[in-house]
Amino acid sequence: MSEPEPLVVYSDYVCPFCYLGKRSLEAYLADAEDPPEVEWRAFDLRRHKRGPDGEIDPGIDDGKDEAYFQRARDNVERLAEEYDVDMTWDVDRDIDSWDAHKLSIHAQEEHGQDGFERLHEAIFTALWRDGRDIGDEDVLVELAAEAGIGQDEARQALGSEALDEEVSQRFQQAHRSGVTGVPTFIRGELRVPGAVPPEDIAQIVENA
């Protein structure tokens, strides 16, 4: 028999809906009788604001005006209440998640799925619950230490050009796959975007 297909989740740390989607997924997994393996994949939400030097350029117009952010905030607050999630909206809109993704890839490669999941949770929580800058190297090194990764090891990973190339390739793969927004949940040929409720995730898993 072939191995069951995983539930693939495309996400970016700087997306509040991805944080909400993670909490919804956790609620589904806690009650699922036969939960699938979950495979997290990186997405570059800042793609359209990334300059030629690879840095975020706040001056680039990505088409998101204040009305867009107000609608997003309203939806975040509604879902946070619905899912009973404690989170903040008061974060810098131009925080870059590139290094956070680098460190997450390193955690999975060197510390396995458990190490990845500890760091994955720590990064999301640091930004969306505590309002910390996950684009700051010192913050990431501290979060890595909390996840069981040595500080020197974390700094070395953050300086790795090989990991830069890996992040770039994973972002390109997400773009080629047709994912245009996050979170996006995929199992088999079925894909559903958005921070959907646990029962919708169950439908994705059961109907794929």
Phi, psi angle pair for 33, to nearest 5°? -75, -35
Q: Does residue 123 fall inside a structural domain?
A: yes
pLDDT digits (tens, 9 = 90+) for 18-76: 999 999 999 999 999 999 999 999 999 999 999 989 999 999 998 899 999 999 999 99
* Contact predicate 185/5, CB 8 Å: no
Q: Which residues have a Cβ under 8 Å from the Cβ of 152 and sit 6 or more positions away?
A: none
**Whether pLDDT at 208 is above 90:** no
Q: Does residue 23 fall inside a structural domain?
A: yes
Cα distance between residue 119 and residue 145, in whole Å: 9
Check: pTM over 0.95? Answer yes or no. yes
CATH number at residue 32: 3.40.30.10
Q: Does residue 2 fall inside a structural domain?
A: no
Q: Does residue 149 fall inside a structural domain?
A: yes
**Whether pLDDT at 101 is above 70:** yes
Q: Does residue 1 fall inside a structural domain?
A: no
Total structural domains within the chain: 1
**Whether pLDDT at 1 is above 70:** no
**Whether pLDDT at 90 is above 90:** no
Q: Does residue 105 fall inside a structural domain?
A: yes
Q: What range does the domain containing 125 cover?
A: 7-207
